[in-house]
A and B are shown apart, each in its own frame.
Chain A
Amino acid sequence: MVPPVDNLIRSLSRLPGLGRRSAERAALALLRKPELLLDTLVSALQEARASVCCCSVCGGFTSKGHEPCGLCTDATRDDALLCVVEEPSDIFSIERSGGFNGRYHALMGKLSPSKQTGPADLRLGTLSERVARGGVKEVLLALSTDMEGDATAGYIGELLKPLGVRVTRLAFGLPADSGVGYSDPLTLKRAITGRMDV
C-alpha cells in the first residue's frame, strides 16, 4: 500500500472499535470522496483539537470559553448529589439515561497498579475539595464493575469517610429485559448479593 494510505489506515485502526479491516474500509471511503468526507473530517478534527477541553470542575468535555461547562452551571441541577465516573464519556451515558439530575465528577481513569495508575493520577484531590466545600450530601459512584472499579470505589469510600458524606454505588443487577438464564455466573452472583426487598 502507498505509504500515506497505509499511514491513514494505521492511525484509524488505533481508534477503539476499529480493527484493521474496518479501518481499511473507512480510509478507502474517505479517499474515494475527498470533498464530501475527507475535508469535513479534517476540519472537524481541527476544530475539536483547537476548542475542546475538559471542564475544570467536573472533568467532562466542554469548549474553550464555556467553563465551567453547561452541566456544572445549570441552576436547575441538584448540588447535593454528586456522581463520580471514570471517563468524561461516561457522563454522556448517564445523561442519556435521563435518570440523574445532580452534578458530575470524572476521575480520568481508575486505580490500576499494573497500568501505573495510582491515586495521584486520578482527579481525587479535586473530588475531596468539592465535597469538603460543603453542599454535597451524597456521592454516587458510577464505576465499572471490574476489580479496578471495586478498588477505586473502596479507596474513595475511605477518602471521603472523614467528611461525613454518604457514599453510594450503582446497583449490580441484570441487564434490562433479560432473563436469569441469559446472565453469566458473575453477574448473577453479584445481583444476588445486591438483592433488594420487593
Chain B
Amino acid sequence: MIVTHINLNQFRNYKEQEIAASPGINVFFGDNAQGKTNILEAVYLCTCARSHRTAKDSDLILRQTDHYAIKVDFKSCNGSSESVEIQYLDAVAGDEQRNRAIRHIYHNNMRLERISDLMGLFHAVIFAPEDLMLVKEGPATRRRYLDLLISQVRPSYFLHLQQFARILAQRNKLLKDLREQGFGRQKPLDEARKIQLDVWNDTLAKEGAAIITQRMCYSERIAQIAMDAQVSISSGKEQLYVKYRSITGLSPDKDENEIVSLYASKLKSMVCEDIEKGVTGQGPHRDDLDLSLDGSGLKPFASQGQQRSAVLALKLAELVILKQDTGETPVFLLDDVMSELDEKRRTSLLQNIDDAQVFVTCTDARQVYDEMIQKKAGDEGSKSERPYAFFKVENGQVSRQEIDLQA
C-alpha cells in the first residue's frame, strides 16, 4: 500500500496540514516535541481507529478545540485509489445533541456503520518506543497486540471481541446482583437462578471460544516467525518462545466446539468464586501471550537489549502475517526507533522493508539516508537511490525540504 496524501485537521498540535507523500522513504526530522510522531500516529489510526499511544480520543484533539479529523489517501497493490477518514467530535457538556462523543469513519467518502467495517481496509505496521510495553507491561498490552493483528486479517474476529465484551458485562452485572442477594459458597443458587446464570455462561462460552480459537492459531504462527527472527537478530544465540496462555486444560489440538464446552464447564465450576468476586475470573479477557527466552520469563530475566530484540521479533511477525494474509505490503511507520536499535537489529528490521513505503521520524537525517534511501546495487559499488522526501517538522508545521545528501 502506498499513501499519497495525509490530511490533519485539529489533530494533536496540527491546526491544518496536508502532506503529499513520496512512494518511497518519507523522512520527518526536527527537534523533539515538534509533532513528528503525531503524523505517524495519524496514519496508524487509519488502520484500526486506535492510537498506539493513547486509549483516549480526546487526547488527540488540538488544544482548545472540540474535534479532530484525519484523512489518508492511498493506493492498494491492485492500483485502486482509496481513502480512509476519521472524524471525532468530543462530548460537549450541556449540549443535548452532543452529550456523547461521536466518531465517524469514512471509506472512499462513504460513511461506515461500524468500526469493524474499517478493519482490513488499510494496513500499516508501526515500530515505536511504546512497543517495549509488550514485554514490560501486563497481559492487556499483549492481548491488544494479538487482537489488533487478528482483527486486521479477519474482520469477523473484531465482531466477536465486541460481542464478548457485551456478554461479559451482562454476566458480571448478574454476578454482582447475585452477590448482593447474598448468594455464594454459603448460600448456593436455587434452580431458577442457576438456569439464569447458565444461559449467560453458554453465550459467553460460545463467543469466548471463537476468540480463543483464533488467538491460539495466530499465536502459533507468531511463535514460529518470531523464533526465526530472534535467531537471526541474536545470531542464533537466543531462542524466543511465544505461547498463548488461556483457560486450564486447553491444548492446540482442540477445535472450537471442544473449546466451547471446556470454557462453559470452567465457567460453571467457578460460579461461587465468580459471585463472591462479582466478576468473571477466567476467559479471553484474562489470557496472556507468554514470552520467554531460552526458557526463562522475559520480563524479569532479560536485559534491555534482549527485550528490544524480542519486541522487534514480535513486530516482524505481525508484519509477515499481515503480508501473508492480505497479499498487501503494509506501510511502515518507524517512530524514532532507528536511534534506539543497535546496528544488528536495524539490519534485521531494514531487511524486511524491501520496497515498502516508509514513514520515519528522526533527528539525524544523514543516518536514514545512508541506511534506507541509498541502495547498494551488488558488490560493484554502484549506487542507486529509492524515491524519498524530507520533511522538516517545526512546531506543528510540516514543510518539504530539498536536501542533497548524495555527496
Contact A185/B173 with A118-B196, A119-B192, A150-B203 known, Cβ cut-off 8 Å: no
Most buried by A among B96, B169, B173, B195: B195
Chain B count of residues within 8 A CB distance of the other chain:
23
Q: Considering the complex, give the chain A residue whose CB is closest to the CB of B174.
A: A113
In the complex with contacts A114-B173, A185-B159, A147-B196 CB distance below 8 A: no
Q: Which of B263-311 contact A (CB under 8 A)?
A: none
Chain B residues whose C-beta falls within 8 Å of the C-beta of A41 in the assembled complex: none
B340 within 8 A of A: no
In the complex, the chain A residue whose C-beta lies closest to that of B156 is A185
Residue among B159, B163, B173, B203 with most chain A CB within 10 A: B203
A113 to B167, CA, bound (A): 10
Contact A186 B196, beta carbon cutoff 8 Å: no
Contacting pair A154 B202 (CB below 8 A): yes
CB-based contact B173/A147 at 8 Å:
no
Q: Which of B148-195 contact A (CB under 8 A)?
A: 155-156, 159, 163, 166-167, 169-171, 173-174, 177, 192, 195
Question: What is the CA–CA distance of A39 and B199 in the complex, to the nearest angstrom?
Answer: 49
Per a CB cutoff under 8 Å, which of B156, B170, B196 touches A114?
B170
* Contact assessment for A151 and B159 in the assembled complex, using a CB-CB cutoff below 8 Å: no
Residues of chain B contacted by A158 (CB below 8 angstroms): 195, 198-199
B104 to chain A, nearest CB (A): 16
Q: Are A113 and B177 in contact (CB under 8 A)?
A: yes
Question: Which residues between 146 and 191 of chain A lie within 8 Å of chain B, taking CB atoms?
Answer: 147-148, 150-152, 154-155, 158-159, 184-186, 189
Q: Kindly identify which residue among B170, B177, B192 contacts A147, using a CB–CB cutoff of 8 Å.
A: B170
Tell me if A113 and B170 are in contact (CB < 8 A).
Answer: yes
B378 to chain A, nearest CB (A): 48
A186: chain B residues at CB < 8 Å are: 156, 159, 163
Instruction: Identify the closest chain A residue to B97 (Cβ).
Output: A20
In the bound complex, residues from chain B placing their C-beta under 8 Å from that of A148 are 170
Q: Assess whether A113 is in contact with B202, with CB atoms less than 8 Å apart.
A: no
Closest residue of chain B to A157, judged by CB? B199
Shortest distance in angstroms between A169's beta carbon and chain B's nearest beta carbon?
A: 13
Q: Please determine whether B159 and A147 come into contact, CB atoms closer than 8 angstroms.
A: no
- In Å, the complex CA distance between A119 and B171 comes to 14
Q: A158-B198, A158-B199 are in contact. Are A113 and B159 (CB under 8 A)?
A: no
CB nearest to B164 among chain A residues = A147
Min CB–CB distance B170 → chain A (angstroms): 5
Cβ of B369 within 8 Å of any chain A Cβ, yes or no, is no
B200 in contact (CB, < 8 A): yes
Say whether chain B's binding surface is mostly helix, strand, loop, or mixed: helix
Question: What is the chain B residue whose CB lies nearest that of A154?
Answer: B199
Hey, which chain A residues are within 8 Å of B203, CB to CB?
147, 150-151, 154
**Cross-chain contact B170 with A112 (CB below 8 angstroms):** yes
Asked whether A147 and B198 contact (CB < 8 A) given A113-B173, A186-B156, the answer is no
Give chain B interface residues in 337-354, CB to chain A under 8 Å: none
The proximity string for A residues 92-113 relative to B, scoring 1 for CB distances below 8 Å and 0 otherwise, is: 0000000000000000000111
A24 to chain B, nearest CB (A): 12
Shortest Cβ gap from B279 to chain A (Å): 13
A8 CB, nearest partner CB in chain B, Å: 16
Could you say which residues of chain B place their CB within 8 Å of the CB of A147?
163, 166-167, 170, 203, 207
Instruction: Chain A residues near B166: list those with CB within 8 A.
Output: 147
Residue of B155, B166, B196, B199 with most chain A CB atoms under a 10 A cut-off = B199
Say whether, besides A20-B97, A185-B155, A186-B159, A155 and B199 are in contact (CB < 8 Å): yes
- B173 near A111 with CB under 8 A, answer no
Q: A114-B169, A147-B163, A158-B199 are in contact. Are A189 and B97 (CB under 8 A)?
A: no
29 A-B residue pairings within 8 Å (CB atoms):
A20-B96, A20-B97, A111-B196, A111-B199, A113-B171, A113-B173, A113-B174, A113-B200, A114-B170, A114-B173, A118-B196, A119-B192, A147-B163, A147-B166, A147-B170, A147-B203, A148-B170, A150-B199, A150-B203, A151-B170, A152-B199, A154-B198, A154-B199, A155-B195, A155-B196, A158-B195, A185-B155, A186-B159, A189-B156
Known contacts A148-B170, A154-B203, then 8 further A-B pairs from the complex at CB < 8 Å, ordered by chain A residue = A112-B170, A113-B170, A113-B174, A118-B177, A118-B196, A147-B167, A151-B200, A152-B199
